[in-house]
A and B are shown apart, each in its own frame.
Chain A
Amino acid sequence: MRTTRFLVLAAAGALATTGLAACGGQEKDAGTADGGPIAVKASDTACEVGRTELAAGQTVFEVTNSGAKVTEFYVYAAGDRVMGEVENIAPGLKRELRVELPAGTYETACKPGMSGKGIRGALKVSGTAATVAPDAALAEATASYQRYVASQTAALLTKTEEFVAAVKAGDVAKAKALYPVARTYWERIEPVAESFGDLDPKIDGREEVVEEGMEFTGFHRIEKDLWTTGDISADGPIADQLLTDVKAIVAKANAEKLTPLQLANGAKALLDEVASGKITGEEERYSHTDLWDFNANLEGSKAAIAALRPALEQRAPELVTQLDAEFANVETALGKHRDGDGWKLHTALSKAELKELSDSINALAEPISKVAAVVAR
């Protein structure tokens, strides 16, 4: 779980345009569909959005923080689905958010102090965005990745059901064995899941991200009980809630189509997950099953790149060659730590072994960070 959400899910209608807008011409790229960036004046107590009725298409918000607290700016669709966000805007700074918005009603939010619901405002988008004829290879990328999401979410649901049943039956050994397996399917598509506002922290929140007034629930709560006290007798309701939340997110994920640009950013975001949360052992601090997540993130990233592959081979064949080599390099480095059908515990790795993994992830993540621009051009 991370607090940033890299993938911005657009509704299906926006699919053809997002990521291809850059082809549409400089003047469009530079501003907003109906003329110039929209100024957002954020302070500690207010969030003034320059225009709140816009035409569909790409919109640029210029957020200026005049407050004393660090702030964030979000555009939410119904149900607090994140359409776009810009984080960590320090006092006095101006930051830009580019977002592709199809017709619909949205909410804007400034979050001074980076917590809570934020200062909300309504945003209305109408009309249809001018679309560029989508590249066939890119269109296929979306369909291909959608099939991947469907397969992973099906398995996520099945394995979560088994895990929840084991927890409720008080079978600690079985629950421990199922825990990293169920999470594998989650971790493969994590950036997709993370874009659904409140569900992600409920399912995958770590103890330190739980805010006041919110309960520590989900996978990591049960992980803590399983591996610290071994007492899961009171975890029945938490397990039930986990299953409810997973069902909800599975339904939402399958209803969404990711744009090629979102796929590219998702492939990178998954490696960022590895670099910041798994290498350090932060994610699975009680079970130490971080290498399961590492492998799942890597597989998910590879799947997103695989979906984009036909387009990348047309546009940047040398990048594909480099990615193939670096994926193979990480797989070799990680493969040393296999343990039967699973993976060694994070705590079993020496610092030198972790550094080797970190180096290999960095070597892969740098070229992967170039994919988005290739897809967008």
Chain B
Amino acid sequence: MIQRVWSDARPRFRLLAVLTLAAAVGWAWVTRTPAEQLYRGRLPAPLAGFPAPDITLPTLDGGEARLADLRGKGVILNFWATWCPPCRFEMPALQRVYEDYQGRVVVVGVNVTVAEAGVDTVRGFLQEMGITFPVWLDVKGEASDTYRVTSLPTTFFIDAQGTICEVVIGGPMAEALLRTRVERMEAGCSPSSP
């Protein structure tokens, strides 16, 4: 009896399985989307796969720096503050990566100066840590707002074409993580990248 019920049910199950599979293949076919169409018209946003929003900030030496001017090289954009312990921990790793990949990748530390006691605190901290990579000052907190930084540190890996490859929220990042992300960044993450 049970055997008959099973054998009666099997063709129905098979038919349903074949229909399910056919529907799935059909759905995959109709939802095909060329990469250019998927990425076309994407507005700059602080998310992986999107063009990095442009920012212009004062630098520690009194000048001004613009993110768009770094186009053509990979950029590690690290938002940090002196009072944030994980930021402090990952600084030496960022410095080593900056030294090892100089000319290929730019490390930029964006200090959230609006949350600091003053610029002198930042300067003293960098001297104490032996940091030589460029540090920009987010004096009004506008860059942090643009990049929707809700937690420190937050790091954006941006490829040579200005597309954000990855966002790492929190830290400290291990040095190997930085190095592997640089490798990925150099391969590129824009739709036209290999």
- Are A and B interaction partners? no
Interface residues of A (CB under 8 A from B): none
Interface residues of B (CB under 8 A from A): none
